Structure 1
């Protein structure tokens, strides 16, 4: 039989409904007051407050080294926060994230996470207090706030931090309690301080007046707040909502492709989430016109999300679709719930500022009272010291003749009329303090203490002086930790369309009439115009300031296929939709894009000779350096982006290409000043692989330098411009001569003949350096793009040229003539 008595069972019957109600109320109370909701005074939840307090107690100041986050978590959990380490570390991480808080309170070292990824474990990261955290915890040792016991009554912790920063508004807050939640947006510290000082000086200020200083939230990641109605509602009632948009600009990624560059995202939206939503939208056909999304974010350049747009799609229209279907536009619901005197309340802007200012007034008052008491106590001791030093010999004799400390203390109090505290302090002094220099120091300290006491008493006697101190400290905080506004505020509400309306939106650029110009220096320009209006007339100022000539011109539409013919005889397809457009009334060829880059030429020796529409009735004529001519039809071409139109011999190259009909005349001009014109009908069209036929008979050492076609209408007014030079001198050391003559003076001859002389060489000249044949006034440019002056008067066909001040390297046609404009009416534009 066992000696242990049988245990007596104790079973109590309880009502399940009562037990559940009591337990739920305890749980709800704990979550609301000890976890989820911030205090309206310092804007911190208990775990955040305990982290900052414990790190302050550990001496982890900004001028000290970082320590392991795990050590901080352990100290907080063991001494102040009786919960799991995961929740403590999560709160610590959030206090260090610059994309979460507008003014971070912890300086983290290591991987503290991003908008898309979580942080590393606490054993891998390090932390210390940020400078702003010192403003939150400053003066804790001066009885500015009440201290309460920790969870096991062995230590104390502050009920609230002194918080010189209006943290609730500046950094916001979020949390889910039982039956209630809070979600507050961050604001700009400088603006909040200005609003707080205004309310401090004018307690009756309205919300509208405060919004002149605090116009809206200022999110850590920037972005744009679209519409302020919801913000105004939240500032008045504590509840509201606003929409944020990413900051995006349209950028030319390549000469033929534009893109959207995302520089800032809505609050707490990460780039990976945006990329995922864009890909989902493209797969589900909700989004169109997007070819690729690349995240080029780095520490040097910050956020850079590149969204490539298909050629022919309007980037602005695509952006509107992205705002609708992706997190590039996001909403933020404001619910300003915080604890005020231990009770959860929904606060407007004015109420939040009032609670904070009342707290700061209390902190400054208690600090002043504490400092006043300390200084009075010190002054009392200093006055006693001064009394003792006046008769130090008697003091020493009195102490030496006393039997014990208590007798000495009593005799000092009796003889020198000292208090017990003064007498005790004198007994504990070291003899080295009893010097003459110590007396001077004590007298200076007495005077300084008296002045400080008077100042503190003046502050405590006046509520206005207390407000001045509060305002001054707020200004210091704003100057020290404030930064310029990051979020752009716009008053217009976001455009919201129905799903049916969204389906009707055309994202593609409209196929409108346009004119495309290729300049002599290789610039490509598009002129959009209404066919009923025409291209207009180029104004005189614009024409004179941009002397580039026209090499090729065509009328087409923005989405049509056009071809670029190169010096190697290649045809490259492209559309003019991405070519920079210029106003029809003031064409500036310099405003275009390099055609070599636009069509993607990789060989620097290959040049564009012609741009032309691809139609069944288009026939292109080629003229090569070796005098070969070929005509080829562009009908029934394969849809390949790159085709060969002429088979060239080794060493040969295309010097000119032009669109022709049988009624036109083909023109060759050679380096030995021979010009040949003959009917285009003498050259039958050939297939693409063919190498062409003899076009002009060249003399030994000569080469073709220019080839074109002249229409019957233009032949009467066409001009021939030639510039001669000497090959015996170094480039740039000798000038040449130039002449302009009428094309009608040159007789037509047969194909494969030698032509007629176009310019008589002066002494020392032996070749034509550059030439041009076409309608209108020729435009000449130097190698660095400066205009060259050619002779104004027309010379005879075989005359010699006039000396030139500068030698041009390229000659092209006049813009007005190329566009069919009437120069006589320029002054009216």
Structure 2
């Protein structure tokens, strides 16, 4: 017998079917477009304003909300990941942690935004799990989130409309250019290399001051990318294309030098690898090629990398093989040379756009100007609100007895508030503040404090109102803040830019093959005359001719040449250091730079660190020949000693001493004499100049300690030692500033004076005064004497304009347009 159904029961098959027919093509198109939109705008592409993808922005915002400042302790990365995933970024924890790791890796980002503690991976290995690592905000991250609470940016709801998050971060520096970006969206991708913070900010400030600046002017400040681990960039045409159109490419090459591994065996020492290439990847590829007999001439490869020396990969070359040719094969067949494709795609006003260098800088400058404008308006409102309260308090304190009597007579707070507003003509806010006033504030001293605060508020309000009213003043404020960021967080350039392959003349091409590597006789570099150049930023190069550089050749496109010596392509030159040493350098290993009509560009030079490791307290001064001919070197020390060195240099030593220094002394200048009749010029920190003939100094051997050169007053030292030739138009450049502040950290005042204005004096005398100090100046921080016209440069090699010649030998200087670090 069948069971009777209860009223609420139904059969599944009794429900009426409702089938909705849809077009599969339309549904797929709609779903794909929604997915593509989400990937482009919410995941893969950075915003051109702050240079961050949404996940990166949310990580920094969450860390800022958690208070993970650089002065606080590290916390587990899993805690940060959970905070970001739960509140702002509803995606997988792996994606969030990977983005966080990348922001902490110093080999990935030029200016890391996360300070990681633990194993955050290497170029060859991934990081540890988030439960094992810890993190906090890096100092640069504070620049990204600074003034978030001052209405500088708009806030938008999070994914579930429960919280709010910033649409963009205020970004006190151009993060997109400094740290670069990479991401693959749907139908588009972005790939941007990192740049040097000081150079990018210099270009941004130039654009602020000159809105019509062209690309050539901006590339004086940003000649190319600056990769986190250095290396070399070969070929600058692709970089210029990228800066102009947003698309281009360049090749990154490892930094390598040829050394004696053993007394009878040569080796290739690699100290920098291309961007994001690890040593294990190179070692594995080299071993594969050697086993497959595609790469010959290598006997062993050893990784001697450690924390003190950094990357140190030694590739031993078999006897009978040309090391230069083996190195060229390594560049061709291994990851020691890689190509980087630039694709500057970023979101501008919510739309993906391909941007050149000027467009990227313009978007950031406009955004930062708006941030400063909104911040100024917010601060103005706060100051006005506080002034309103202070004025009310001053009214109450002036008639305090009447105020107290009125409050005591009132039946309740509302009545007291109303009577205060009527009797003293106060606003409701002022009346409430007076009612909350503590009795201890009713003193004479409190009144003085309030009056002082009122005056300060009035001045600050006037300043803020003037800032909002003047667009030029506002842009100048943005420029000044950027300069402060560069001063505090800037670092020297690490990547060398080569106009071409940087090969020596006669070097075999990469396609020479293994057969040409064996037997160096056919691969010798022609021993042609050339000139070796040293720039103010420490770049070395050689020209393809021995023609002397004229006045136009004294300055390169991005640097000032401070030393120039005649040599041959297969010869050697000496590097004179502040420790009184001469270090031998091989000319054939230097890259060549063609002398153009106006100047050779040392942007294709190689830093000194690629050839010689100097201690931190030893500085390179100049170059000299090692031919053993001529009148030799002249050296001047900080304690006023002068020495002429006989040119009998040992030919079997890589480094040797040329002066015996006293304790605490150092060489401040050196020059190679050509006639022995030049005038030697001393300039001291207390602004005295002495010059006398080099013939008054008797040449000594290398172990000699020199003789008295200039008489120093108490507390003074020598700031410059140079030599000038008679019969030429010579000038003296002096830069005054504050003692204790090194050259390049302050602008100070600069003066250019004809050399004839200073009379010659005897050796070991005090000389004559050469610069009058202004208020705030108490020392010369830089000086130079030489042939006109002089050229000055800042710390990153950008030329600095000098004033016109001043006929007054002891006159004061004029304010410099930028800090000067060198003159040549």
Aligned to 1:94: 102
What aligned pairs does 1:563-712 form with structure 2 within 5 A after superposition?
A: 591=651
- Choose from 358, 378, 382 the match for 1:374: 382
Query: Counterpart of 2:130 in 1: which secondary structure?
Result: coil
Say whether residues 1:505 and 2:510 are aligned partners: no
Give how far 1:501 is off. 4.8
Give how far 1:505 is off. 2.6
Say whether residues 1:258 and 2:263 are aligned partners: no
Residues 1:277 and 1:436: Cα distance change in structure 2 (over 3 Å)? same
When the two structures are aligned, how many residues end up with a matched partner?
A: 524
Aligned to 2:549: none
Give how far 1:17 is off. 0.9
Query: Counterpart of 1:338 in 2: which secondary structure?
Result: strand
Give how far 1:429 is off. 1.8
Query: Counterpart of 2:521 in 1: which secondary structure?
Result: coil
Aligned to 2:297: 289
Say whether residues 1:308 and 2:313 are aligned partners: no
Aligned to 2:477: 469
| Runs of 5+ consecutive residues of structure 2 not aligned to the other structure | 525-625, 630-647, 655-824
Matches of 2:164 and 2:158, distance apart in 1: 5
Aligned to 2:753: none
What aligned pairs does 1:13-92 form with structure 2 within 5 A after superposition?
A: 13-92=21-100
Preserved CA contact (<8 Å) 1:227 1:494: no
Matches of 1:35 and 1:416, distance apart in 2: 59
Matches of 1:302 and 1:242, distance apart in 2: 25
- Choose from 327, 341, 365 the match for 1:333: 341
Query: Counterpart of 1:505 in 2: which secondary structure?
Result: helix
Could you give the per-residue CA deviations for residues 68-117 of structure 1, whole angstroms, max 9, x where no partner exists?
11111011111111101000000000000000000001110000000000
Could you give the per-residue CA deviations for residues 278-317 of structure 1, whole angstroms, max 9, x where no partner exists?
1111122221000111111111110001101101111111
- Choose from 189, 192, 197 the match for 1:181: 189
Aligned to 1:713: none
Could you give the per-residue CA deviations for residues 215-243 of structure 1, whole angstroms, max 9, x where no partner exists?
00000010011110000000000000000
Matches of 1:406 and 1:118, distance apart in 2: 66
Give how far 1:10 is off. 3.6
Matches of 2:652 and 2:142, distance apart in 1: 56
Preserved CA contact (<8 Å) 1:361 1:466: yes
Matches of 2:385 and 2:435, distance apart in 1: 17
Give how far 1:506 is off. 3.2
Aligned to 1:388: 396
- Choose from 221, 236, 239 the match for 1:228: 236
Residues 1:400 and 1:298: Cα distance change in structure 2 (over 3 Å)? same
Query: Counterpart of 1:124 in 2: which secondary structure?
Result: coil
Moved more, 174-183 or 274-283: 274-283
Give how far 1:498 is off. 8.8
- Choose from 107, 112, 120 the match for 1:104: 112
Residues 1:26 and 1:240: Cα distance change in structure 2 (over 3 Å)? same
Aligned to 1:788: none
Aligned to 1:489: 497
Give how far 1:323 is off. 0.3
Query: Counterpart of 1:145 in 2: which secondary structure?
Result: coil
What aligned pairs does 1:758-777 form with structure 2 within 5 A after superposition?
A: none
**Structure with larger Rg:** 1
Residues 1:188 and 1:475: Cα distance change in structure 2 (over 3 Å)? same
Residues 1:593 and 1:284: Cα distance change in structure 2 (over 3 Å)? farther
Say whether residues 1:353 and 2:358 are aligned partners: no
Give how far 1:485 is off. 0.2
Preserved CA contact (<8 Å) 2:302 2:314: yes
Give how far 1:425 is off. 1.3
Could you give the per-residue CA deviations for residues 110-151 of structure 1, whole angstroms, max 9, x where no partner exists?
000000000000000000011011011100000000011111
Matches of 2:425 and 2:513, distance apart in 1: 93
Residues 1:589 and 1:51: Cα distance change in structure 2 (over 3 Å)? closer
Say whether residues 1:4 and 2:4 are aligned partners: no
Aligned to 1:433: 441
Matches of 2:314 and 2:458, distance apart in 1: 67
Give how far 1:395 is off. 1.1
- Choose from 404, 408, 412 the match for 1:400: 408
Residues 1:439 and 1:305: Cα distance change in structure 2 (over 3 Å)? same
Query: Counterpart of 2:211 in 1: which secondary structure?
Result: coil
Could you give the per-residue CA deviations for residues 660-698 of structure 1, whole angstroms, max 9, x where no partner exists?
xxxxxxxxxxxxxxxxxxxxxxxxxxxxxxxxxxxxxxx
Could you give the per-residue CA deviations for residues 33-60 of structure 1, whole angstroms, max 9, x where no partner exists?
0000000000000000000111011111
Aligned to 1:161: 169
- Choose from 439, 458, 463 the match for 1:455: 463
Matches of 2:523 and 2:448, distance apart in 1: 94
Moved more, 162-171 or 504-513: 504-513
Preserved CA contact (<8 Å) 1:110 1:124: yes
Preserved CA contact (<8 Å) 2:103 2:113: yes
- Choose from 331, 351, 372 the match for 1:323: 331
Matches of 1:186 and 1:593, distance apart in 2: 40
Aligned to 1:673: none
| Runs of 5+ consecutive residues of structure 1 not aligned to the other structure | 514-582, 595-829
Aligned to 1:238: 246
Matches of 2:99 and 2:155, distance apart in 1: 22
Query: Counterpart of 1:510 in 2: which secondary structure?
Result: helix
Q: TM-score, normalised by structure 1?
A: 0.61
Aligned to 1:658: none
Give how far 1:591 is off. 4.5
Aligned to 1:249: 257
Matches of 1:499 and 1:314, distance apart in 2: 13
Query: Counterpart of 2:142 in 1: which secondary structure?
Result: helix
Moved more, 190-199 or 430-439: 430-439
Residues 1:279 and 1:475: Cα distance change in structure 2 (over 3 Å)? same
Give how far 1:592 is off. 5.5
Q: CA RMSD in A?
A: 2.3
Query: Counterpart of 2:520 in 1: which secondary structure?
Result: coil
- Choose from 410, 416, 426 the match for 2:424: 416
Matches of 1:20 and 1:14, distance apart in 2: 11
Aligned to 2:542: none
Query: Counterpart of 1:410 in 2: which secondary structure?
Result: helix
Q: Which portions of structure 1, spanning 4 or more consecutive aligned residues, are displaced by more than 6 angstroms?
A: 494-500, 583-586
Preserved CA contact (<8 Å) 1:216 1:231: yes
Could you give the per-residue CA deviations for residues 385-430 of structure 1, whole angstroms, max 9, x where no partner exists?
1111111111111112212221111111000000111111111222
Could you give the per-residue CA deviations for residues 409-461 of structure 1, whole angstroms, max 9, x where no partner exists?
11110000001111111112222222222111111110110000000001001
Aligned to 2:814: none
Matches of 1:376 and 1:363, distance apart in 2: 20
Query: Counterpart of 1:269 in 2: which secondary structure?
Result: coil
What aligned pairs does 1:700-779 form with structure 2 within 5 A after superposition?
A: none
Preserved CA contact (<8 Å) 1:255 1:593: no
Matches of 2:474 and 2:31, distance apart in 1: 45
Residues 1:446 and 1:512: Cα distance change in structure 2 (over 3 Å)? closer
